[in-house]
Amino acid sequence: MTEHKPLPIAVLASGRGSNLEALMHACNTGQLPLEFRLVASDHAEAAALRRAESAAIPTVALDPSGYRTRRDFDLDLFARVAASGAELVVLAGFMRILDAEAIAPWTGRMINVHPSLLPRYRGLHTHRRALEAGDHEHGASVHFVSAELDGGPVIAQAHIDVRADDTETTLAARLLPFEHRLLPAVVKLIAEERLGLHDAVVTLDTIPLEQPLRLVDQALQRA
């Protein structure tokens, strides 16, 4: 097996940081060759920051209210990300719409995990919306980030059935473990330099993906 140099990453999170924890666990158990350069948040009390601090990962919390515009906040945030030396940015529950100019240098180097089968249910309350629509299938997606909300090219998805007795809470709880497998699986392909974005097309081993990869057990497979 080819050994890969640890990939320097920064993680942006607004809340509890469970997907951050999944990445940390995969790294600590030798499944992912990562080097965590920074964990940043727009909430000083975010549990994600406490998780990072407990692992001696550098952190920063920026208060959006201290900036004149959203653009000013984003430019400062991504200047700090760049200064950290990160080569990949992972949005793991970062609940902000990002400025196009601020993220332009990160095209193809920033991914987001979103709790729906994109392009369905961009934005918030995805579990509720899936139930209200009567969907029989739900899931999570990892996509490259663009200026469009949850609109960048989709890399991979995890699918689960919607049960007749599901509530918004139970559906979210059942999906979360799949997110925790999906995100590290995608990051692993990036760290191994197998996954990329070329002219807005996702490629795996230089071959364009016609459909998002699908999570089967712990591995990603072509659809």
pTM: 0.96
Cα-based distances in Å from 30 to 3, 13, 26, 181, 191: 11, 23, 6, 15, 13
Q: Give the integer Cα–Cα distance in Å for 198 and 188.
A: 18
Token pair for 81: 């990300």
* Pairing of the two strands 195-198 and 201-204: antiparallel
* Pairing of the two strands 110-114 and 88-91: parallel
Q: What is the pLDDT of residue 3?
A: 72
Catalytic residue among 25, 43, 114, 180: 114
Handedness of CA 25, 122, 203, 99 (dihedral sign): negative
- How many residues appear in the chain? 223
Token pair for 67: 């900036």
Per domain, the residue ranges of the chain are 7-221
52-84 core/surface letters (b: 16 or more CB in 10 A; e: else): beeeebebbebeeeeeeeeeebbbebbebbeeb
Asked about 125 being catalytic, the answer comes back as no
SS3 label, residue 111: strand
Sorted by sequence, the CB contacts under 8 Å of residue 92 that are 6+ apart come out as 11, 12, 13, 17, 19, 20, 23, 48, 113, 183
Q: What is the CATH number of domain 7-221?
A: 3.40.50.170
Cβ-contact 76, 67 below 8 angstroms: yes
What string of pLDDT tens digits covers the 223 residues of the chain? Answer: 467 899 999 999 999 999 999 999 999 999 999 999 999 999 999 999 999 999 999 999 999 999 999 999 999 999 999 999 999 999 999 999 999 999 999 999 999 999 999 999 999 999 999 999 999 999 999 999 999 999 999 999 999 999 999 999 999 999 999 999 999 999 999 999 999 999 999 999 999 999 999 999 889 999 8
End-to-end CA distance of the chain: 25
Q: Give the integer Cα–Cα distance in Å for 121 and 129.
A: 7
